[in-house]
Structure 1
Amino acid sequence: MKSNLHFILFLLIPILSFSQTPISKKIYLDSLWNETTEANHKYYRITKSYNLNQDSYTVSDYYKSGVLQMAGTSKTKDYLSKEGQFIFYYENGNKRSIANYVNSRPSGKQFDWYENGQIKSEIEYLENQNGSISEISVNQFWNTENVQKVIDGNGDYEYSDDRQHENGKIKNGFHDGIWKGYNKNLNWSYTEIYENGKFISGVSIDSSNTEHPYDVIESKPKPKKGIEHFYGYIGKTFNTPKVQGLKGKIYITFVVDANGKIIEPKILRDIGYGTGLEAIRVLTSYGNWIPGQQRGINVRVLYSIPITIQSRY
């Protein structure tokens, strides 16, 4: 009996070790960072140890060329939930920025560089008492000629990326006076007024030359009858499979378009038995939302939700 026991243990040990071998997952992403096919991708993402249940996962994004674009840690493996320090790179290999995140929100100081390696800025994300980001302070800024234009929170600031450009005065770290900018992707411009860091009002002009006054820079989409009604609808309408002991979470993303319609639902993870397709059916059967806005103009917004399933059978 003793020798047989040893033999059984000998067989189990290598099987257990093999099952715990870390396996990475690779997905392809388009120019808007939505998952796509290999033929249409602009970036790709590697999530290490994807097959293991961990508190965090090492995630790296790459340009199509294979050059590292981003490196950091995610609290989840099926979608990016940023936590801790992230480093971003230009495609020439130079560092683009270093930032820290808490629950996917930037927190503390962020340092940025131009593509040629020259220092660009030091900004700081300030938190309020409930832990959310309340203000962004511009501490230092150098223009493309390597002339420092903001010194210890005072001066002229200019920001530009792939999507937008804006410029104005910085006073004690914050926006002040008249600011002007434009959105490169959506082809609209805007003028805003600030006073000691507080946003007062703004007017945007869209591609058809129509003006849109606004008193809130950005608003998220929301169900017309409220978020509680939305979740209640999902709970009442979702047909849970009659499978004994079935439970878990479905992760799904969708877009609320500029008209408030739910489109492009995508299953990130389901628990089988058609639960992902049922989630899509329920979502797309729900009525329209109040669309999200940026600077008074309706925009598409990507939304993600988990749906918890527990069979009663």
Structure 2
Amino acid sequence: MKRNIFLFLLLIISVSLSAQISMVSKKIFLDSLNQECTPDNYSYTRVITNYSQKSMRYVVTDFYKNGRKKMTGATLDRDILKKDGEFIYYYKNGAKEAVVNYTDDHKNGKEINWYENQSKKSEKQNIWDPKTKKSQTLILNCWDEDKSQTVTDGNGEYEETDKFISQKGTIKDGLKQGSWQGNDLLHKTTFVDNYDRGILTSGISVDENNVKTTYSSLTEKQNTKNVKKLK
């Protein structure tokens, strides 16, 4: 009889704890573009561990389908990802991919990236000015996959891939300088950009139909409605 009562109490405690965990945390499903989706077609899951508590910052962790961490850090908003503080990113095999610091959802501070084999890829310094709302990234040191250093103390040749965009060029004093060549797989374009101390001064892109587009600033490049097309 006592054994049955004990098991019954244990069951109640277990259910109660599960209910508390469910109330505290929130789990959502994300597709490959990090948009919320249904459990039928998800690529990642996101857990906000202190969702039901009123807080200045909320712990957020993304997981791959294999259950391993993809990203972990803190957000200023429990419903919208506003990164703040240190974020750690991981490859699917569990190896560390990057450590990035944020201030109010902007990269700010030291950033370190690794290749999947855990050899160091790059060291950067991100600068965010909340008054001017401008950001800048200094490329300090960089290594290729053969562990050869291509950028040393802010000077050298650099190649980067960010999602769908790949580009390469010269780094001087930590900033992009001169002509940079690249391609955008998403928009199916190739481009040549010209930089002066990290500022895009001019550029031209060519799409799959050989239509050329010129621009004179990063804003113009991003806003295709305002660019001038060459025939």
Bin for the TM-score computed over the shorter chain: 0.7 to 0.9
TM-score (norm 2): 0.84
1:238 — aligned with what? none
Q: 1:266-305 alignment to 2 at 5 Å?
A: 294=222, 297=224
Distance 1:50 1:156 in 2: 44
In structure 2, what residue type is equivalent to 1:169? T
Distance 1:34 1:85 in 2: 22
* 1:168–1:179 CA contact under 8 A, matched in 2: yes
Distance 1:129 1:40 in 2: 38
- Where 1:177 maps in the other structure, the secondary structure is strand
1:118 — aligned with what? 119
Q: 1:254-273 alignment to 2 at 5 Å?
A: none
CA offsets per residue over residues 1-50 of structure 1, 9 Å max, x none? xxxxxxxxxxxxxxxx9998652111000011000011100111001121
1:218–1:30 Cα change, 3 Å: farther
1:135 — aligned with what? 136
1:202 — aligned with what? 203
Between the aligned residues of both structures, percent identity stands at 35
- Where 2:140 maps in the other structure, the secondary structure is strand
Q: 1:230-245 alignment to 2 at 5 Å?
A: none
* 1:107–1:133 CA contact under 8 A, matched in 2: no
* 2:98–2:113 CA contact under 8 A, matched in 1: yes
Q: Which gives a bigger RCO, structure 1 or 2 (Cα 8 Å, sep 6+)?
A: 1
In structure 1, what residue type is equivalent to 2:69? L
* 1:169–1:177 CA contact under 8 A, matched in 2: yes
Distance 1:133 1:111 in 2: 21
* 2:107–2:127 CA contact under 8 A, matched in 1: no
In structure 2, what residue type is equivalent to 1:45? R
Equivalent pairs counted in the alignment come to: 208
* 1:20–1:52 CA contact under 8 A, matched in 2: no
In structure 1, what residue type is equivalent to 2:109? G
* Unmatched tracts of structure 2, length 5 or more: 1-15, 226-231
Cα RMSD of the aligned pairs, angstroms, is 2.1
Q: CA deviation at 1:65?
A: 1.8
2:178 — aligned with what? 177
Q: CA deviation at 1:63?
A: 1.1
2:167 — aligned with what? 166
* 1:162–1:184 CA contact under 8 A, matched in 2: no
Q: CA deviation at 1:62?
A: 0.8
Alignment of 1:98 with 2:25, yes or no, is: no
TM-score (norm 1): 0.62
